[in-house]
Structure 1
């Protein structure tokens, strides 16, 4: 009888380990299409990614993220938002509130498109959103489609360059102030986590 119980425990353990291989991510984005489309393109078969595009200001996004995170069990929870025209106070408060909840923060100052540009070149001069789009048109050698569903594949081969450029950019700011550090981004931190599960 004791042997049967031992086998039962062993089998149960194997089943649990199999389930534990799958990671569950919650990624809540300020943008309704641009960021969600990008992160949905990651080929991570061992990861369940729940992506929500809210179209809300940073503070409201963090508040909603907390509510979403309580509805399911997630291994990682991330907030993705831009500096845009939001107030410095709101942007800073959102980052601090997210970190206090244990959420990862993938922010961009000024816009998410900075992450795309860093795939091609190092940019350490603050420019307007319209200039981001003009620059991407030139770098892509075609008109940049803001809500593109293929941008991930188009620039994937340059991702390692983007990671290095994003890290280099952050190191330039001392002291570090996300609301004032224009340009800057931490999108590479979320990308790094997702890349751990790419097959």
Structure 2
């Protein structure tokens, strides 16, 4: 009996259509530690600015939530792709691994591993790929809190959550519509995050720091390149 190649053919056509609809800007892969909070936030940015899903791919880590697992999964997903998720092999110019400091033991290892991969991988166009860790100390919620307050001293993640709920009542991990809620204050948060970055880095734990502003700025400026 002849094999039914219809599913494979449909998958091939889907990939071709997706490739045809890519925009002219860099293809970006974002792999996150969280399975809801960060994916919801970045998905909302992607939808708000109508960025092509073929160019901006969001995927929670499937290896685990330790920072090194996030970095390893980002590398693996870039190299091998994932047919079930319609992610092609080496189909990106930029790869970002998003994770928190928290109390993760592999945090520094993850930062170093990401740095060692930057510019070393090659994509399907034989170009060197930007590979970056997007870390937050102590957590992603620091970025959200910076929309409402200047944070200059070390702060525990529980205190970040407590203060954030004072500005966004009912906020919980995995909440939706957070970009819509904070969008009018993104410029303020970006200035504060950049000011922190002039004094601290992802390595100066427990000093407050977040690189989320870098990724948000990149995504929100892509609308001008479509």
Q: TM-score range by the shorter chain?
A: 0.7 to 0.9
Give 1:53's aligned residue: 60
Residue 214 (structure 2) aligned to one of 171, 178, 189: 189
Give 2:197's aligned residue: 170
Q: How much does 1:138 deviate? A: 0.9
Residue 77 (structure 2) aligned to one of 68, 92, 103: 68
Q: How much does 1:19 deviate? A: 5.1
Rg (Cα) greater in structure: 1
2-side partners of 1:37 and 1:135: how far apart? 21
The 5 Å alignment of 1:36-185 reads 36-42=39-45, 43-47=48-52, 48-54=55-61, 55-70=64-79, 71=81, 72=89, 73-87=91-105, 90-102=106-118, 103-140=131-168, 142-173=169-200, 176=201, 178-185=203-210
**TM-score, scaled relative to structure 2:** 0.73
Deviations 1:120-176 (A, max 9, x none): 111012222221111011122x12122111001000000000110001112123xx4
4+ runs of 1 displaced by more than 6 Å? none
Give unmatched runs, 5+ long, in structure 1. 1-15
Give 2:13's aligned residue: none
* Secondary structure of residue in 2 paired with 1:163: helix
Which of 1 and 2 has higher RCO (CA within 8 Å, sep 6+)? 1
Checking the alignment, whether the CA contact within 8 Å between 1:21 and 1:46 is kept in structure 2 is no
Deviations 1:81-116 (A, max 9, x none): 0001112xx212211211221212211010100000
Q: How much does 1:76 deviate? A: 1.3
Give unmatched runs, 5+ long, in structure 2. 1-18, 82-88, 119-130
2-side partners of 1:125 and 1:117: how far apart? 13
